[in-house]
Amino acid sequence: MNETGTTEALVVSVCRAAKAAAPALARAGTLAKNAALRAMSEGLLSRAGFLKEENAKDLEAGKARGLSAAMLDRLLLNDARIRQMADGIGEVVSLPDPVGGIGRMERRPNGLLVGRMRIPLGVIGIIYESRPNVTADAAALCVKSGNAVVLRGGSEAIRSNAAIAEILRGALSSAGLPVDAVSFIPVTDREAIDAMLRQEESIDLIIPRGGEGLIRSVVEKSRIPVIKHYKGVCHIYVDETADIDPAVRVCVNAKAQRPGVCNAMETLLVHEAIAPTFLPKVAEAMTGAGVELRGCPETVRRVPGTTPATDADWGMEYLDLVLAVRVVPSMDAAMEHIRRYGSLHTEAILTRDHDRAMRFLREVDSSLVLVNASTRFNDGFQLGLGAEIGISTTKIHAFGPMGLEELTTSKFVAFGEGQVRQ
Amino acid sequence: MNETGTTEALVVSVCRAAKAAAPALARAGTLAKNAALRAMSEGLLSRAGFLKEENAKDLEAGKARGLSAAMLDRLLLNDARIRQMADGIGEVVSLPDPVGGIGRMERRPNGLLVGRMRIPLGVIGIIYESRPNVTADAAALCVKSGNAVVLRGGSEAIRSNAAIAEILRGALSSAGLPVDAVSFIPVTDREAIDAMLRQEESIDLIIPRGGEGLIRSVVEKSRIPVIKHYKGVCHIYVDETADIDPAVRVCVNAKAQRPGVCNAMETLLVHEAIAPTFLPKVAEAMTGAGVELRGCPETVRRVPGTTPATDADWGMEYLDLVLAVRVVPSMDAAMEHIRRYGSLHTEAILTRDHDRAMRFLREVDSSLVLVNASTRFNDGFQLGLGAEIGISTTKIHAFGPMGLEELTTSKFVAFGEGQVRQ
């Protein structure tokens, strides 16, 4: 058997094992799942030494391969980060279990009582890149929602990920749940991803988490439904009626509070009627927060010294202390800009005009649309989901933050008394 | 430009036109959408002559190609069928419009008011085979749910489909809605489907309706999420405690009331303790209804003269007056049989035992699970959805009958008063 054949056979067997484990996990009660999660959390802490040892090998290999300091930092597992992973799992224990509830029960004219029961999706495949904590976070959410999971992490973190997976599997076993409910693909060649994306008989949903290249390639090759967690090119539109000081505060928060994340603002759109008063103030505050502005000609005129924006600045996800600024003649022009350059992630309007607020909310097609608040609220914890596996920018199945409920689906159930179809 | 290039360019332009029309349709109010639907219904009736003329050309071409009488019957549009299409659209007018409603609104600790607004998916691609009524039915449901649609029907019905699409587009225009909200791909070569499945920038969801070959090929090639409407290998399990006479009635209804549809029963599983009394009765009733039985050895022993089943009979979708029958030692064996041979479509248990009823309901993984009722109830009208575009056997997004609500998704909306993230 050649190399490719070996990888394929391995991936097939890992995915089939997860599928075989899925029914037992789907049937498992909340108490058993919580016991497994507690054992996972405790296992990560009690085996911190082992985790740091395995992580050290990844770091060493990364240095030898010339990874950047930022990349090495993402890889690093220290006591604080191990504690964070363990605490994260502990929080999932306290979330309500969505599985098994029946909603919308109604009696049909023929007496049949029809409802929808929430059920796990089955097997979820997670394809991710360098951060090893994803192994623990994603597995915990999948287990709590009754799903088996197949994890395929990046090559840089292979030893750390394998060590975490080993601990999580031990915890499942100690709680009487099938170990293969958390399955890990221990090979990191590209062919492993391609083979995984062909296992439509075993995997029900693929969630890729990573850069644009990874996500595009997964979407192109997958035979399994994919929920993209794609880039965030988030906009704030400052309407002519906005209150200036609160608007400045919200904009600075959206851009500068944590610029490296997907819900940070990347482009500021300003109504031309408020530009003369708002632009100088927001520019001063942004500069004070270390933000570099790239402006349209009108912005450059109003705020001398601003770098002129090029076409490439519109729609750019900087993930950095850089902000594109454009003056627009109307809210329609702002919405047209968002339609053209946005990524369906998060947009906000700042206004005192009720009709415009409601129209923006209705017509802008993003996973979260806000009135008078920072884009930084697009997050499962902030929106009340309790936890999230990521933020979907795919409209199918779940749009926006995905919590436990979004990792489930529902089937129809019906109670009859011998009803037949006429 | 070669032929393939021409098809590709045409498909790209049709899909882009639909995408360009989608925002206006998504914003359209219920009154405008209903006006368009009424005009569609009236247009089909007032242009019945034109429809029958175009349909006659399809029928003639079909005869020349040697299509079977059954295929030609599926193609046929007569006055009664045109009236049915028109009435079907009329029924969609009376259904509630799901778009724009906001649910689950809650105030977060920081005062942010967060909810979920129901929105259209965007552009839905429907790939279907020979029945021309799908053109009208699917377009009406998409328009009512605020979605643009790209229709790609089978080559046999090309002239009929094109004629229906022309009438529907005229109706959109008369109601002030963009005609491209109903877009039709006028070429029927295989390359048109392949090209359509690559338009992930324009199409948000693909729904294939047709045979196993079509669906497999679509899933394999699509870069766009696909909701499969797959075969129905439906089972009824008759428990040892079932009431015999009602059980016989339900089984005969599930098999024989309309055997050619996906929610008809294909395999009957009988608990061994009830087999001696139940099997002769159900066999007699089935034979009376013209049903041929294929039985396991125990069934053959109990009902002399039954054709022995082969391995190929388990999991077979006969779509005909044929039924596979198997005696099982327990409910667990029945559920194991369903896991192995079922298609996640519809399964029922007939029992008087409450614990078993609840366990079967919970553990069987099908889009509809029934207690003491016929599998024939898996249908959007019967379950209270008002209409359906089909029955999804994909767990992602929608599982079971898909009505108007299942053709939408939701985005998060948030009302703030200047909130910033800490």
Segment A34-62 shows an average pLDDT of 98
Q: How far is CA B404 from CA A146, B85, B146, in A?
A: 28, 17, 9
Of B373, B377, B396, the CB nearest to A409: B396
Give the sheet arrangement for strand A148-152, strand by strand.
A182-184, A148-152, A123-128, A205-209
Write the residue in A395, A409, A418 that is nearest to B250 by C-beta. Answer: A418
- Please tell me the number of Cα atoms within 13 Å of B85 on its side-chain side: 33
B358 touches chain A (CB under 8 A): no
Cβ distance A15 to A202 under 8 Å? yes
Instruction: Classify domain A3-224+399-414 by CATH architecture.
Output: 3-Layer(aba) Sandwich (3.40)
Q: Cα–Cα distance between A194 and A217 in angstroms, integer?
A: 9
**Centroid of chain to Cα B225:** 16
pLDDT at A4: 59
Of all helices (H) and strands (E), which one includes residue B253?
A: helix B244-256
Residues A318-349 as b or e (16 or more Cβ within 10 Å = b): beeebbbbbbbeebebbbebbeebbbbbbbbb
Q: How far apart are CA B135 and CA A316, in angstroms?
A: 40
The SS3 of residue B193 is helix
Asked if residue B1 has pLDDT above 70, the reply is no
Question: Which chain B residue shows the shortest CA-CA distance from A104?
Answer: B384
Read off the pLDDT band of A1 (50, 70, 90): very low
Do residues B119 and B408 lie in contact, with contact meaning Cβ atoms separated by under 8 Å?
yes
Tell me the CATH class for B234-382. Answer: alpha beta
* Token pair listed for A250: 């919200």
User: Do the Cβ atoms of A144 and A40 come closer than 8 Å?
Assistant: no
Tell me the shortest Cα–Cα distance from A195 to chain B, in angstroms.
13
pLDDT of residue B228: 87
Amino acid code (one letter) for B71? M
Helix/strand/coil for B189 = coil
Written as six digits, the tokens of B215 are 């669906």
Is 70 exceeded by the pLDDT of residue A331?
yes
Q: Return the percentage of chain B with pLDDT > 70, whole number.
A: 99
What gap in Å lies between CA B62 and CA B3, rounded to an integer? 24
Instruction: Please tell me the distance from the alpha carbon of residue A120 to that of residue A404, in angstroms, as a whole number.
Output: 10
CB distance from A358 to chain B under 8 Å? no
Mutate to test the interface with B, among A265, A364, A409, A421 (most CBs of B within 10 A): A421
Residue B74, pLDDT > 70, answer yes
Domain ranges within chain B, ordered by starting residue: 3-230+400-414, 234-382
Model confidence at B95, pLDDT cuts 50, 70, 90, reads: very high
B214 to chain A, closest Cα gap in Å: 14
**Is A340 in the B-facing interface, judged by CB distances under 8 Å?**
no
Is any Cβ of chain B less than 8 angstroms from the Cβ of A417? yes
Residue B26 exposed, middle or buried by CB count within 10 Å (0-12, 13-18, 19+)? buried
The Cα–Cα gap between A73 and B310 comes to 61
| CA A205/CA A408 separation, integer angstroms | 11
Query: How far away is chain A from the Cα of B415, in angstroms, using its nearest Cα?
Result: 5
Chain B CB contacts of A415 below 8 Å? 357, 370-373
Per-residue pLDDT, averaged over B300-325, amounts to 97
Looking only at the bridges linking them, the beta strands covering A408-419 and A113-120 are antiparallel
Closest-CA distance of chain A to residue B348, Å:
9
Beta carbons of A377 and B112 less than 8 Å apart:
yes
| pLDDT, average across residues A151-166 | 96
Residue B20 touches chain A, beta carbons under 8 Å? no
Average pLDDT on A124-132 reads 92
Nearest to A421 among B27, B100, B377 (CB): B377
Total beta-carbon pairs less than 8 A apart between chain A and chain B? 220
Residues B107-112: what's their mean pLDDT?
Answer: 97
The nearest alpha carbon in chain B to A221 belongs to: B223
The domains spanning A3-224+399-414 and A234-382 adopt the same CATH topology: no
Asked if B415 is an interface residue toward chain A (Cβ–Cβ < 8 A), one would say yes
Global confidence as pTM: 0.94
H or E stretch at B167: helix B158-174
Residues 6+ apart with CB under 8 A from B93: B34, B37, B38, B41, B144
Q: 3-class secondary structure for chain A?
A: CCHHHHHHHHHHHHHHHHHHHHHHHHHCCHHHHHHHHHHHHHHHHHCHHHHHHHHHHHHHHHHHCCCCHHHHHHHCCCHHHHHHHHHHHHHHHCCCCCCCCEEEEEECCCCCEEEEEEEECCEEEEEECCCCHHHHHHHHHHHHCCCEEEEECCHHHHHHHHHHHHHHHHHHHHCCCCHHHEEECCCCCHHHHHHHCCCCCCCCEEEEECCHHHHHHHHHHCCCCECCECCCCEEEEECCCCCHHHHHHHHHHHHHCCCCCCCCEEEEEEECCCHHHHHHHHHHHHHHCCCEEEECHHHHHHCCCCEECCHHHCCCCCCCCEEEEEEECCHHHHHHHHHHHCCCCEEEEECCCHHHHHHHHHHCCCCEEEEEECHHHCCCCCCCCCCCCEEECCCCCCCEEECCHHHEEEEEEEEEEEECCC
B226 — contact with chain A (CB < 8 Å)? yes
Q: Quick check: A421 and B225 CB within 8 A?
A: no
Residue-level length of chain A = 422
A27 contacts in chain B (CB < 8 Å): 362-363
Nearest by CB to A384, which of B114, B219, B371?
B114
Of residues B249, B365, B409, nearest to A418 (C-beta): B249
pLDDT digits 0-9 by tens, A345-394:
999 999 999 999 999 999 999 999 999 999 999 999 999 999 899 999 99
Q: In B, residues 367-386, which contact A (CB 8 Å cutoff)?
A: 367-374, 376-378, 382-384
Q: Are B388 and B379 in contact (CB under 8 A)?
A: yes
Name the nearest CA neighbour of A367 among A346, A349, A397.
A346
Q: Which CATH number fits domain B3-230+400-414: 3.40.50.720, 1.20.950.20, 3.40.50.460, 3.40.605.10?
A: 3.40.605.10
Instruction: Please state the rounded mean pLDDT for residues B272-296.
Output: 98
CB contact under 8 A, A383 and B223: no
Residue in chain B lying closest to A412 (CA)? B368
Write down the number of H helices and E strands in chain B: 14, 16
Query: Would you say B151 and B182 are in contact if contact means Cβ atoms under 8 Å apart?
Result: yes
Angle at B268 between CA B254 and CA B368, to 5 degrees: 55
| Whole-number Å distance between alpha carbons of B93 and B168 | 14
Percent of chain A with pLDDT over 90: 93
From chain B residues 105-124, the ones with a CB under 8 A of any chain A CB are 106, 108, 112, 114, 117, 119, 121-122
**Which chain B residue has its CA at the smallest distance from A413's CA?**
B369
B151 in contact with A at a CB cutoff of 8 Å? no
Main-chain phi, psi angles of A348, to 5 degrees:
-135, 150
Percent of chain B with pLDDT over 90: 93
Phi/psi of residue A217, nearest 5 degrees: -65, -40
Q: Do A420 and B250 touch (CB under 8 A)?
A: yes
Report the SS3 class of residue B206.
strand
Distance CA(A168)–CA(A40), nearest Å, equals: 5
Top residue of A412, A417, A422 to mutate, by most chain B CBs within 10 Å, is: A412
Considering only residues 67 to 96 of chain B, which have any Cβ-Cβ distance to chain A shorter than 8 Å?
none
Residue with tokens 């047209």: A336
Question: How confident is the model over A4-30, as pLDDT tens digits?
Answer: 579 999 999 999 999 999 999 999 999
Q: Mean pLDDT, to the nearest integer, of A281-295?
A: 98
Question: Cβ A415–B205 below 8 Å, yes or no?
Answer: no
Please name every residue paired with A392 in a beta bridge, in sequence order, or none if there are none: A400
Cα–Cα distance for residue pair B293/A177, rounded to 1 Å = 41
A200 CB-near residues (< 8 Å, 6+ apart): A223, A224, B219
Give the residue from chain B lying closest to A111, CA to CA: B373
Beta-strand pair B113-120/B408-419:
antiparallel
Decide if A362 touches B, using CB distance below 8 A: yes
What's residue B212's pLDDT?
A: 85
Residues of A in contact with B112 (CB under 8 A): 373, 377, 382
Distance separating alpha carbons of residues B263 and B391, to the nearest angstrom:
9
Which of B258, B399, B418 is facing A409, going by the closest CB pair? B399
Residue listed under structure tokens 């009329």: B90
Cβ of B285 under 8 Å from any chain A Cβ?
no
Give the C-alpha separation, B284 to B280, whole Å. Answer: 6
Q: What is the pLDDT of residue A48?
A: 98
Whose tokens are 């939701």? That residue is B410
Q: Read off the pLDDT of residues A235-273 as tens digits, 9 standing for 90 and up.
A: 999 999 999 999 999 999 999 999 999 999 999 999 999
Which of A396, A401, A412 has the CB atom closest to B367's CB atom?
A: A412
Distance in Å, alpha carbon of A53 to nearest chain B alpha carbon = 35
Range list of H helices, B261-330: 275-288, 297-302
Q: pLDDT-based confidence at B343, cuts 50/70/90? A: very high
Predicted pLDDT of residue B115: 98
By Cβ distance, the residue of A223, A369, A395 closest to B204 is A395
Is this complex's ipTM strictly greater than 0.90? yes
CA B251 to chain centre: 23
Give the sheet arrangement for strand B148-152, strand by strand. B182-184, B148-152, B123-128, B205-209
Q: Do A414 and B369 touch (CB under 8 A)?
A: yes
Please check the confidence at residue B380 and state whether its pLDDT lies above 90: yes
Given phi > 0 = left and psi -120 to 50 = alpha, else beta, which region is B176? left
**For chain A, what is the radius of gyration of the CA atoms?**
24
